[in-house]
């Protein structure tokens, strides 16, 4: 499943947001409440995710998050890829926060 940034914004309270970008990219801003799990570490971090709650995956443009969504879907998670990534999120002037521990 895919959602636009506007659609994701309306569903923030009902899902867990996972940002799969690399640490330096987070300085461009994150979605408030998002958990940072770099794409390459998704396989060893699935235990940190709640399998009963949808997982919205986010990256810079939507490509890496699509890969993460495929992996997590195969692992049994209900996943949503945010199309356009954080580039689109910020272009639409949706709110961001800086990471607490870059």
Each residue of 19-68: pLDDT tens digit?
A: 999 999 999 999 999 999 999 999 999 999 999 999 999 999 999 999 99
Domain spans, the chain: 2-91
**Catalytic residue (one of 30, 56, 59, 68):** 59
Q: Considering the entire predicted model, what is its pTM? A: 0.95
The whole-number pLDDT of residue 102 equals 46
User: Where are the strands (E) in 1-102, listed by range?
Assistant: 2-3, 16-19, 35-36, 55-58, 79-82
- The CATH superfamily of 2-91 is Rhodanese-like domain (3.40.250.10)
Each residue of 74-99: pLDDT tens digit?
A: 999 999 999 999 999 999 999 999 98
Is 89 one of the annotated active-site residues of the chain?
no
Tokens of 96: 């961001």
The whole-number pLDDT of residue 99 equals 87
* CB 16 within 8 Å of CB 77: no
The whole-number pLDDT of residue 66 equals 98
């Amino acid at each position: 499943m895919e959602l636009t940034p506007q659609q994701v914004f309306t569903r923030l309270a009902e899902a867990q947001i996972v940002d799969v970008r690399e640490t330096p990219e987070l300085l461009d801003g994150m979605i408030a409440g998002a958990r940072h799990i770099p794409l390459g570490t998704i396989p060893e971090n699935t235990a940190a995710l709640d399998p009963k709650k949808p997982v919205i995956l986010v990256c810079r443009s939507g490509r890496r998050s699509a890969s993460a969504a495929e992996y997590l879907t195969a692992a049994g998670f209900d996943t949503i890829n945010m199309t356009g990534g954080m580039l689109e999120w910020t272009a639409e002037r949706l709110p961001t926060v800086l990471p607490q521990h870059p």
